[in-house]
Structure 1
């Protein structure tokens, strides 16, 4: 059964479907960067609220700024903007629902003016973002906005025909300012520390280059709430599509699959209204920092700790690594001994229970989360998910071998061949640069750890960390993953 509004009534009874009609909703949010995570997270929560009969004026207009976004636009357009969300539980079965919270999608490349018009419309009160860590154009080594990027320079020279998110946001906010329309809230849903503060810094930096008066207005009128977002959402595969069709009778051009677990902790700082997401499980707070630190250091940091080691071993799915007792012992030790002592208490969260849940989530075989997905963009992920932990360990003068192994595994992974001799590509926008760092073993440590935008300044200057890194790299080369883990864990015990 092709997924369309006309066919909703004919879907299998177990499939949950929208309890609201298209004619009942209106758009109040523009979301830039419609991918799997947005559809499994923010759109999921918005749909849940609409199903209660509330928030019907907060439907989402999707927006894409990349050529690749055409595929998502066309997939949604071909099925009345509907899509299927499949929650894959280990042992608890699959929950299938159709979501209708996204009610259209615009492409900036096709018609920049149409997207600016939408962003400037009074009904749009929130603009949300999932544009990846690199989409904010921030230099990790300096923390400053990279104004010299060609796309940024283009937008400064062509303000009415922008290409970047900051060009579009400023074009729309300038229009709203001139027309006396209240500003929208900019809400980052990207997985990076203090995402709202990063969005604010980047947008204000761009705006100052364009128009200082506009920058001052944005500074005063636009809110940028920080958020902690969490739901493991693997890439949709052809196998997922086949399973949906064969097991549930739904033909969907681009369904989204995810784990049952979902969490969103959001600072309640909105300058132009917001949906009552708290009624469907979103936790609002004055300060998201402790939740953010917990999630980024424990979940994302542990993901990196297992992913490169797992890939080197020859595994290709996260659950495969968690079927290996050595990996479970290592990851739990990393969580307990390296990360947990650095965390402040988190209101309403039992950290021991949270870590138990992470082990269960990583072990979910049904979700079949790809290690390649977790491995991707390591050069951007390390500074945010791992380096802060390493810096604190160095500062505290505690043993570094366990944490150094994370970096050593990445260095060997960048060679592009696992210990079974299987070659693979490196999914990172800076892959060529990163692989050049490890191409020659002579002076490898100095070249790799000396990249300030990835490792900062403290790590290469720490003799203890350098020694631990070289020791773990030597063990991986000479002993392989299993024996390196056995040696490390037996030494600790």
Structure 2
């Protein structure tokens, strides 16, 4: 049965559906960057709250600023903006639920004025973001805003016809200021350290270039809460769509597939109110730092420790890497010896249990999380997920071989050929630039590690790290992943 508001009552009893009428919702949030993660996370929490009879004035209007967002807009629009949350755990479907918290989606390239009108509407009290780690236009090596990017230059020259996220936010906030309306909260849901602070820094940097008075008004009236977000959400595949249709009788143009685990730790800093998300499991805190350090260094760092090594061996799913005893032991050793000693106590979290849960989550066969997804955008992920761990290990004089292996595996992965001779594309906006650095073996370490935008200054200055990187890169090329892991693990 095609998913549609008119067919909700005819869905099988195995499928949960909204207890509210999606047509009666009023919008209170604009979310820029509607993808799988947003639909499995923020929208799912909001839908759960709506099912309790609350937050019906906090419906989400999706917004797409890229041409690639059209496919999502069309899929959602074709079924009244409903979609299916398909939660998969090993052994069984743990939840299948239709979500109606998103009740519209606007594309900037089709109707930028409509999007600006919506953002400027006082009914919109939160603008949330999943624009990827690289979407904030911050140079990781210098911390400076990248004001020379074409979209930024366009928006500075033509602020009334914005293209970038910062152009849209500033123009909407300018209208609010001129109308005497309240500001909105900018809430980043991207997976990067201090995401609220990063959003604030980027928006204020853009605003100062555009209008110093507006920048001052934004600094006083807009809040940017930090958040730690967590849910593994693989790319939806044709097989997932077929599973949903066969098991539950739903034809959904773009369901979202996710694991059962769900977490959101959020600083309670909202200038114009917020939904009562704490009623559906969101943890509010004064300081998200220990939670995000734990998640970024253990989950995201361990993901990268596994993904490039596994991809080079010919694996294509995360659960396959966990079934490999050497990769599993390497990841756990990296967690225990390299990462855990760096972490401060995390309120309410027992790290030993958290690490065990991570291994179980990574091993989940049912969601079939693609290594390609985890491999993607490595040039944006390394500065945030691996470099801080490496820098601390260098500063503390601790062994560097395990963390250097993560970087060496990525450098070899950039060659585009795995151990089975299979060729693959590199899903990274900087792929050509990064691949150019690994064409020749001579001078490889200087070219790769010398990129300060990725690796900063401490790593290339560490003789021990450079030597370990070169030794492990050569080992991976000459004897392969398994024998290299045996050497690193002391077998």
Q: TM-score of the superposition, structure 1-length normalised?
A: 0.99
How far has the Cα of 1:95 moved from its partner? 1.5
Counterpart check, 1:165 vs 2:177: no
> C-alpha distance in 2, partners of 1:104/1:4?
14
Confirm or deny: 8 A CA contact 2:183 2:222 kept in the other structure: yes
- Residue 116 of structure 1 is matched in structure 2 by 116
> C-alpha distance in 2, partners of 1:312/1:348?
37
Confirm or deny: 8 A CA contact 2:380 2:454 kept in the other structure: yes
- Residue 364 of structure 2 is matched in structure 1 by 364
> C-alpha distance in 2, partners of 1:401/1:191?
26
> C-alpha distance in 2, partners of 1:362/1:233?
11
SS in 1 for 2:228: strand
- Residue 73 of structure 2 is matched in structure 1 by 73
- Residue 320 of structure 1 is matched in structure 2 by 320
How far has the Cα of 1:179 moved from its partner? 0.5
- Residue 474 of structure 1 is matched in structure 2 by 474
> C-alpha distance in 1, partners of 2:61/2:276?
18
Confirm or deny: 8 A CA contact 1:308 1:406 kept in the other structure: yes
- Residue 458 of structure 2 is matched in structure 1 by 458
> C-alpha distance in 1, partners of 2:408/2:141?
21
1:142-190 CA-partner distances (Å, limit 9, x unpaired): 1010111111010111111100000000010000000010000000000
- Residue 186 of structure 1 is matched in structure 2 by 186
- Residue 420 of structure 1 is matched in structure 2 by 420
- Residue 24 of structure 2 is matched in structure 1 by 24
SS in 1 for 2:105: strand
> C-alpha distance in 2, partners of 1:420/1:307?
16
Confirm or deny: 8 A CA contact 1:318 1:362 kept in the other structure: yes
- Residue 374 of structure 1 is matched in structure 2 by 374
> C-alpha distance in 2, partners of 1:5/1:114?
24
1:249-298 CA-partner distances (Å, limit 9, x unpaired): 10110000000000000000000000000000000000000000000000
- Residue 56 of structure 1 is matched in structure 2 by 56
> C-alpha distance in 2, partners of 1:159/1:474?
51
**Relative to structure 2, which stretch is displaced further, 469-478 or 158-167?**
469-478
> C-alpha distance in 2, partners of 1:288/1:145?
24
> C-alpha distance in 2, partners of 1:159/1:111?
15
> C-alpha distance in 2, partners of 1:71/1:378?
25
Confirm or deny: 8 A CA contact 1:113 1:160 kept in the other structure: no
How far has the Cα of 1:92 moved from its partner? 4.0
SS in 2 for 1:138: coil
SS in 2 for 1:7: helix
- Residue 131 of structure 1 is matched in structure 2 by 131
How far has the Cα of 1:103 moved from its partner? 0.3
SS in 2 for 1:349: coil
- Residue 271 of structure 1 is matched in structure 2 by 271
Confirm or deny: 8 A CA contact 1:29 1:126 kept in the other structure: yes
1:38-91 CA-partner distances (Å, limit 9, x unpaired): 000000000000000011110000000000111111111110010001001012
Confirm or deny: 8 A CA contact 1:383 1:454 kept in the other structure: yes
1:371-429 CA-partner distances (Å, limit 9, x unpaired): 00000000010000000000000001011111110001001101110111111111100
Confirm or deny: 8 A CA contact 2:22 2:101 kept in the other structure: no
SS in 2 for 1:31: strand
> C-alpha distance in 2, partners of 1:140/1:27?
35
SS in 2 for 1:399: coil
- Residue 213 of structure 1 is matched in structure 2 by 213
Unmatched 5+ residue regions in structure 2? none
How far has the Cα of 1:474 moved from its partner? 1.8
The root-mean-square deviation of aligned C-alpha atoms, in Å, is: 0.7
Instruction: Please list, as runs of the form range in 1=range in 2, the aligned pairs for 1:146-295 lying within 5 A after superposition.
Output: 146-295=146-295
- Residue 486 of structure 1 is matched in structure 2 by 486
Confirm or deny: 8 A CA contact 2:227 2:288 kept in the other structure: yes
Confirm or deny: 8 A CA contact 2:30 2:119 kept in the other structure: yes
> C-alpha distance in 1, partners of 2:146/2:439?
28
- Residue 334 of structure 1 is matched in structure 2 by 334
**Relative to structure 2, which stretch is displaced further, 1-10 or 241-250?**
241-250
SS in 1 for 2:109: coil
1:327-382 CA-partner distances (Å, limit 9, x unpaired): 11100000000000000000000000000000000000001000000000000100
> C-alpha distance in 2, partners of 1:212/1:36?
36
> C-alpha distance in 2, partners of 1:23/1:236?
27
- Residue 41 of structure 1 is matched in structure 2 by 41
